Amino acid sequence: MRLTAILSMAAKAAFPKDYRYGTSRPWTIAAKRLNPPGKKRRKVFIEPIAYEDWSVFKGDTVEILSGKDKGKQGKVAQVFRHRNWVILDGLNTHFRYIGKTADYRGTYIASEAPLLIRDISLVDPTDRKPTEVEWRFTEEGEKVRVSLRTGRIVPKPVFQRRDGIVPQQWKGESAFGEGGTEARGAKESRWIKVEKEIL
Amino acid sequence: MAATSTGRVLTFCRQFQNAFRISTPLSAQKSALTLTKSQSYPHRLTSPLLSSSWHCHVGLVRQCRPLHTTISRRGLEEFFDIPENWGEATVKSGAPWTAKQLRTKSNEDLHKLWYVLLKEKNMLLTTEQESKRQRIQMPSPERLKKIERSMKRLDTVVKEREDAIRLLQTGQERARPGAWRKDVFGRVYWYRFREHALPWYMNKRYKRKRFYTPLFVTPHMRLRLEKHLRAKTRKQNRERQKQAGLQEKFPQMKAQSS
């Protein structure tokens, strides 16, 4: 299938109004344990942040402002917009046993806990200190994050897909046989100029 | 008698040409005229093909309109996929047509494409039914969705063109005529006209449908309006309270415009 088809394959699933989102994906056993069908839990209030105002992305370097690992900088591994959460690599960890069986005590691993967006601050790449960030437009019209203290642009981190495809260098099968998307009209914006009046 | 003669003519023509003629009903006078005209032409027996075509002309009593159909190349096999795809778990298919691509095509191309898509859809539906019958999974069911989306977009493009031409030629915004009418409950709605065989004053079923509000319904209209306004105000108050609560919990939150 085409790259566009693969990229836009996720369909929208329906959730109940009081669904409590966690760190696991909704179809996993852990998420199903967290939300059994008849459960009623206290509602979690999340600060509504508009889609355009979201500043933290996967791969960004951020600094923790409060908590156990206060003052440490780390890379963002995962972002949960539905809870305003961010998981950093190796920071804010607690320890637990994984893969426990009847006779084996399990592997002792460090698992990261999510941090709220308000306890996180983006780091200015030049002086490596936490700053407030605002969305502004450049001369070309591009929307970029600008650090309010220094005024420098914080570049967006390069997103690497799990299957290693770089959309700009996609050289996959574009047409199956002769009839393909290319054969439909490579020049879609090829309009003929009509000199005389139509009606 | 007329029907059988037309039928005979059709079957006769189909044997020799794939373009056959459909007859439209006309007055008896005109049909007599055509009959005399065809009888006055001298018979030219140059080749069997021409003579058969003349037979067609002589046999026809009414005026004709040409209709062309493509030859069915594979017959009933067109309802099934090509034999190379039989037994496969997945069948490769391209992306669906986008409206942007379809807008560059001419009307004739779109007309042909519609039937190509329709035949493909029939083939896929047959495959789906057959898979259900054999209790196996249909190979690549996303093809059906692609076809449906392509056909919908084609329909949209054709509607756009029709709308443009109608607006330029007549200035009418709607293709189907209608009017604003009141129903029995006092609600004003856009009633779209239908085609009837009788005038409205002779149509008993149409007269039973009342396009006016009886007098005893008028107090209920006011009550309904009050209910609607009450619900709207309650919703607005609830929204405002929710925003106030969120602002209290999250003081640095930006006030939502919605």
Mean pLDDT of A94-107: 91
Q: Which helix (H) or strand (E) holds B180?
A: strand B178-182
With 80 as the cut, is the pLDDT of residue B25 above it? no
Mean pLDDT of B167-180: 95
pLDDT at A108: 94
If one compares A125 and B4, the residue with the highest pLDDT of the two is A125
Confirm if A56 and A132 have CB atoms less than 8 A apart. Answer: no
Mean pLDDT of B96-121: 95
Distance from the B217 Cα atom to the nearest Cα atom in chain A, whole angstroms: 38
Given pLDDT bands bounded at 50, 70 and 90, which one contains residue B61? low
pLDDT at A194: 72
Asked if the Cβ–Cβ distance from B252 to A5 is below 8 Å, we say: no
Asked if the Cβ–Cβ distance from B95 to A1 is below 8 Å, we say: yes
CA distance B126 to B218: 55
Distance from the B119 Cα atom to the nearest Cα atom in chain A, whole angstroms: 17
With 60 as the cut, is the pLDDT of residue B26 above it? no
| Residue of A1, A2, A117, A176 to mutate, testing the B interface (most B Cβ within 10 Å of its Cβ) | A1
Find the closest chain A residue to B248 by CA distance.
A47
pLDDT digits (tens, 9 = 90+) for A31-84: 999 999 888 899 999 999 999 999 999 999 999 999 999 999 999 999 999 999
If one compares A90 and B63, the residue with the highest pLDDT of the two is A90
Going through A19-72 in order, the beta strands assigned E by DSSP cover 61-64
Asked if the Cβ–Cβ distance from B169 to A199 is below 8 Å, we say: yes
Confirm if A99 and A107 have CB atoms less than 8 A apart. Answer: yes
Residue the block writes with tokens 């409950």: B185
Asked if the Cβ–Cβ distance from A4 to B169 is below 8 Å, we say: no
Q: Which of B104, B246, B253 sits opposite A188 (nearest CB)?
A: B104
Query: Which two structure tokens, joined as six digits, stand for B128?
Result: 């789906």
Range among A98-102, B69-73, B116-120 with highest mean pLDDT value: B116-120
* Interchain CB contacts (distance < 8 Å): A and B: 43
pLDDT digits (tens, 9 = 90+) for B218-236: 999 999 999 999 999 999 9
pLDDT at A7: 55
Query: What residues of B are in contact with residue A45 (Cβ under 8 Å)?
Result: 245-246, 249-250
| Residue of A2, A8, A47, A192 to mutate, testing the B interface (most B Cβ within 10 Å of its Cβ) | A47
Residue type at position A170 = W
Three-state secondary structure call for residue B209: coil
Going through B88-150 in order, the beta strands assigned E by DSSP cover none
Q: What is the pTM of this model?
A: 0.62
Mean per-residue pLDDT over chain B, rounded:
82
Find the closest chain A residue to B168 by CA distance.
A199
Q: Does B49 touch chain A (CB under 8 A)?
A: no
Find the closest chain A residue to B170 by CA distance.
A199
Q: Give, as one character, the DSSP assignment of residue A134.
A: E
Burial of A186 (0-12, 13-18, 19+ CB in 10 A): exposed
With 70 as the cut, is the pLDDT of residue A134 above it? yes
Return the minimum-mean-pLDDT range out of A112-121, B18-27, B205-214. B18-27
Find the closest chain B residue to A197 by CA distance.
B168
CA distance B126 to B68: 26
With 50 as the cut, is the pLDDT of residue B185 above it? yes
Given pLDDT bands bounded at 50, 70 and 90, which one contains residue A198? low
Q: Does B105 touch chain A (CB under 8 A)?
A: yes
Find the closest chain A residue to B258 by CA distance.
A50
pLDDT at B27: 42
Confirm if B117 and B147 have CB atoms less than 8 A apart. Answer: yes
pLDDT at B177: 95
Find the closest chain B residue to A1 by CA distance.
B94
pLDDT at B129: 97
With 90 as the cut, is the pLDDT of residue B168 above it? yes
Residues 6+ apart with CB under 8 A from B176: B192, B193
With 50 as the cut, is the pLDDT of residue B7 above it? no
Asked if the Cβ–Cβ distance from B169 to A179 is below 8 Å, we say: no
Confirm if A97 and A107 have CB atoms less than 8 A apart. Answer: yes
With 60 as the cut, is the pLDDT of residue B37 above it? no
Query: What residues of A are in contact with residue B97 (Cβ under 8 Å)?
Result: 184
pLDDT at A181: 57
Return the minimum-mean-pLDDT range out of A44-58, A179-193, B30-44, B157-171. B30-44
Query: What residues of A are in contact with residue B105 (Cβ under 8 Å)?
Result: 185
Q: Which of A4, A53, A188 sits opposite B95 (nearest CB)?
A: A4
